[in-house]
């Protein structure tokens, strides 16, 4: 009888120890798809987005947010979201219709272009002609804006709108950063996520 009692006590102690240890001690069951024995409270982590080194030969120049009055906290990372069958590859910066769109950097207005998806658009090259800044869905251009014009950071280029394929009830600036190919064509290059560049703006 004593032997049976000892076995029962040992079994109870072992069970209590297993419960206290939690499911983390048995990762194999998790890997095989078994549900966790006990739910744990989620831990929220703050993620720091690394900024490109400003002295890196391949990094874009420092940028300012290209919509007047918008702060970094109002911008979401939409670069990897899908639009139809393709990746977005830009940041959508929401603002009221008619809000000034400003030059994100010094540079040259390389192309003013109207397209089906982008509506009224501007392609600006940086001073080194390494990167192109693309502004789309504009409501209208700034008076007198023309191709070949030299612009400075903060100059008004146009105004937020919904031209092209933008939803008519959601005015915003579609803003993209493009690393130009060696031939420096405004329609060619590799898209770079502008979000970490913009949220580091001050």
Co-location of 182 and 135 in the same domain: yes
CA distances from 11 to 7, 25, 36, 181 (A): 6, 18, 22, 70
Q: Residue 21: which domain range?
A: 1-45
Helix, strand, coil percentages in the chain from 3-state DSSP, rounded to 5: 15, 30, 55
Co-location of 111 and 35 in the same domain: no
Q: Which two tokens stand for residue 129?
A: 């002609």
Number of domains within the chain: 2
Distance in angstroms (rounded) separating the CA atoms of residues 135 and 112: 10
Per-residue pLDDT 10s for the chain (202 aa) are 544 444 545 455 555 444 444 433 333 333 333 333 333 333 333 233 344 444 455 778 889 999 999 999 999 998 888 776 778 898 899 999 999 999 999 999 999 999 999 999 999 999 999 999 999 999 999 999 999 999 999 999 999 999 999 999 999 999 999 999 999 999 999 999 999 999 875 4
- Give this prediction's pTM: 0.70
Residue 101 forms part of a structural domain: yes
CA angle 139, 145, 147 (to 5 degrees): 115
């Amino acid at each position: 009888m004593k032997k049976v009692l000892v076995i029962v006590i040992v079994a109870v102690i072992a069970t209590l120890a297993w419960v206290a240890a939690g499911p983390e001690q048995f990762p194999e069951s998790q890997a095989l798809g078994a549900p966790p024995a006990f739910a744990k409270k989620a831990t929220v982590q703050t993620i720091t987005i690394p900024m490109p080194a400003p002295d890196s030969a391949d990094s874009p120049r420092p940028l300012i947010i290209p919509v007047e009055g918008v702060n970094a906290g109002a911008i979401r990372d939409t670069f990897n979201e899908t639009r139809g069958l393709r990746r977005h590859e830009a940041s959508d910066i929401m603002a009221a219709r008619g809000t000034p769109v400003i030059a994100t950097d010094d540079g040259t207005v390389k192309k003013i272009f109207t397209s089906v998806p982008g509506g009224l658009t501007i392609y600006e090259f940086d001073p080194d002609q390494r990167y192109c800044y693309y502004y789309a869905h504009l409501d209208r251009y700034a008076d007198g804006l023309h191709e070949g014009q030299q612009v400075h950071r903060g100059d008004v280029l146009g105004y937020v709108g919904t031209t092209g394929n933008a939803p008519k009830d959601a005015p915003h600036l579609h803003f993209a950063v493009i690393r130009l190919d060696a031939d420096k064509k405004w329609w060619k290059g590799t898209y770079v996520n502008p979000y970490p560049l913009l949220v580091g703006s001050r």
